[in-house]
Structure 1
Amino acid sequence: MTLLNEVLERPLDLGYAAASEARRQGTARPATPVRRGLTFLLALVLGLTAVWAARELRTPAGVETASDVLVAQIRERSATGEELMAQNTALRGEIAELQEQALGTEAEELLELTERIGSAVGTTAVEGPGMVVTLSDSASANSGEPDAEYGRVRDVDLQLVVNGLWASGAEAIAVNGHRLTAQTAIRTAGDAILVDLQPMISPYRIEAIGDPDGMRTQFARTQAAGFLNFLAAQASISSSVERADELRLAAGTSLAPSLVTESS
């Protein structure tokens, strides 16, 4: 209550009250140009210091944003995944050689059939001509501008393009080097797109092996081609469709048969 009474009865600070009384009695020190200049400089320095402190508090130097940390983790995990995929491919090659040695020439037809089936389902590395479709997030989304999430490539965008390539006659497809199989899923987890649980980041390079000329002609007639134009016009998501004379797609994850157990 004492503080409230003091504020209500004497709202003017004691220092201001004394200065006002001195001016009223004519005993106040005169405001010379030098004093005014020093006061102005002091106020300017204090103002600049306050602005600098506010900016430093708002954007601390050297502190990464959550998006930067996520992208760095995705790149690190992607590099690790690529190394493991390369090791897996090498092991598959060794297994194939051991199978040939064990079965001999009598099982050449069986080995050829196994290779054709593996190529179709995505568990065998393939190479040949084809086409490449690339999608990239918009410049505003890459710079982290507010309300720019609509400029990011979504999982449904990749799904539509991949389905369009399959419909155009693609024999094998990979997204950012990850081979698609019959069980591959393209989903979103936060800001990242997962292809068979592997995180992908922009730009998204979709490679498809097949007849380049026939695929480009058929792809231009699909819904995916028109959708790419829509993304460019409405969300500034850039895309390109290019012919590739030689592509090599690594083998995908082997399909594990499901085990069914009977309970008594």
Structure 2
Amino acid sequence: MEKDISAFRFSALRKELGLTQSEFANELGISTTADIERGKTKISGKMLVSLQVKYRINPLWLFDESDQMYIDQKPISILPKVVVVDKNDSENIVLVNTKAAAGYPQNLANPEFYDSLPVFDLPIPEYRNSSYRGFQIEGDSMLPSLHPGDWVLASALESMDSVNPNRMYVVILDDAVLVKKIMQKPLSNNITLISTNESYPPYDIKAFNIQEIWEVKSKLTFNFEPMNSNNLLMDLQNSMEELKKQISSNQGTLNA
């Protein structure tokens, strides 16, 4: 007996969400999804509503009446929810350190929260005509580009259409402030967050869970290690000596 197309797509959806059958069942308020995935139980109207509300799944897609998996929505606003200005109505740059970042996602639209954060003005043309915010780096996932304790100055992004996979962004989720590269997936509601430190694998999130995005424009670091000409020459000499040793070793192997 062939399985219904809805069973295949229901199973594919669960796997894309990265959920076990038990976890998916809990999300939908049922005991198990196993019988649905085997085609023994039909998807109920209540489950269709849950899938639409929780994950924006297009019911027509589940029943092979549409190729569009997710429901069309109005573009999600990722612009800043609050801006801070001085007495001359010029916008200030708010600094969000690692401690403040813990409460930042929950207070995006709370003006009183911003009153507790330091602000400053940067009288440089490049930092005009846009909203900027400073964020302190926590963790080592963006090494070697960004070190723990570094600060980045980032400009507000207007829409996901402006995302460049080669740039770094401060991504504000419902419960976290992250600095990552972003890779968008065509015809998918998922986006991939990428660290520059290869020890951290990429992972997917739902685009509609993003509250704000800030494009990193510059950084302030306290890990500056100047490289003078003597150091460069020494590094070059060491590299040449190592290369000579490798060549000599290879020649010895060939002669043997």
Normalised by the size of structure 1, how large is the TM-score? 0.21
Q: Which structure's relative contact order is higher, taking Cα pairs within 8 Å and 6+ residues apart?
A: 1
Higher CA-based Rg: 1
Structure with the largest fraction of helix: 1
